[in-house]
Amino acid sequence: MGIDRDQVALEAAREQLQQYEGNFVLVQENFKNVDSIFTRLGVEAVDGSLFDLGLSSLQIESPGRGFSYLREERLDMRMDRSTPLTAYDIVNGYSENSLADIFRKYGEERWAKRIAHFIVQERVRDPVVTTTDLVKIVERAIPRSKRRRGHPAKRIFQALRIAVNDELNSLEAGLRGSFEHLRKGGRLVVISYHSLEDRIVKRIFRELAEECICPKELPQCQCGGVKKAKILTKKPVTPSLEERSRNPRSSSARLRAVEKIQG
């Protein structure tokens, strides 16, 4: 079974899996709804689940999606194009404080407040319509001498994409739901591509592998917790030099895995 919000991604998967027709099911939905998806399809438990998070090369390269800061397109960034909220709506409709919070929380951008201020100033004159419009604002807002490595708009585009698609809340719900549907001995594997995702995965896996999840200040366990999982990756697995050379976009990938020990 494959679950994805993006119809284009599912169509590409169906084409690649033609020789296995009849042995797979593709579902266009948010994986946070894994409980209802499994119920609808009559699936009680599975032996394994793999989450490959973030933005795919297909989405970056597909015209008209508005994900890339390297190509001029209308600001969009929706993984599911049937949902109403777009990056354009956020950039042109949210308050300065809300924009700064998004850039700080989801992009870990140190210039979040200044960039938000520049956006609000600009949209008073004209709406910020395209990716290029936004890139130019970010470049004006961040002093050249203070820029980090990489494109100055990278963190802003990441933050907007996460906000548009509610990615982090979806990830938490999806991981917990998928783990509950594992058989005993089943494995949950996650490939993440930035620190915000990886922190969530690491935290949830640690919770599943602990017997007690009570606050540390309590002198005695009150939760009656039972260890549910065994962590299989003490440290995240990262791509080899050969893989990074062959596929530079894999460079930031981190793989973590757990095995369910309580059915």
What mean pLDDT do residues 32-49 have? 96
Taking only the tens place, the pLDDT of each residue in 165-193 is 999 999 999 999 999 999 999 999 999 99
Answer yes or no: do 202 and 83 share one domain. no
Contact 69, 48 (CB under 8 A): no
Taking only the tens place, the pLDDT of each residue in 209-262 is 998 767 777 777 777 778 999 999 999 999 999 999 999 989 999 999 999 998
Contact 116, 103 (CB under 8 A): yes
Q: Name the domain boundary from 165, 193, 220.
A: 165
Q: Is 59 annotated as a binding residue?
A: yes
Cβ count near 73 (within 10 Å): 18
Answer yes or no: do 34 and 84 share one domain. no
Answer yes or no: do 46 and 73 share one domain. no
Q: Name the domain boundary from 139, 165, 191.
A: 165
Taking only the tens place, the pLDDT of each residue in 50-64 is 999 988 888 888 889
Q: Name the domain boundary from 165, 185, 212.
A: 165
Kind plus residue range of the DSSP H or E element containing 241: helix 241-246
Q: Could you tell me which of 159, 144, 55, 142 has the C-alpha nearest to residue 104?
A: 159
Give the domain extent around 119: 66-165
Answer yes or no: do 132 and 174 share one domain. no
Tokens found for residue 6: 């993006």
Number of domains in the chain: 2
Written as one letter, the residue type at 40 is R
Answer yes or no: do 98 and 223 share one domain. no
Q: Provide the β-strand partners of residue 130.
A: 74
Q: What is the CATH number of the domain that holds 91?
A: 1.10.150.170
Answer yes or no: do 31 and 148 share one domain. no
Q: What is the largest CA-CA distance in the chain?
A: 60
Q: Is 103 annotated as a binding residue?
A: no
- Concatenated DSSP letters of 73-111: -BS---SSTTSS--HHHHHHHS-HHHHHHHHHHHH--TT
At residue 56, the pLDDT reads 86
Q: What is the CATH number of the domain that holds 50?
A: 3.40.50.150
In whole angstroms, what is the distance from residue 53 CA to residue 256 CA? 12
Answer yes or no: do 159 and 180 share one domain. no
- pTM of the entire structure? 0.90
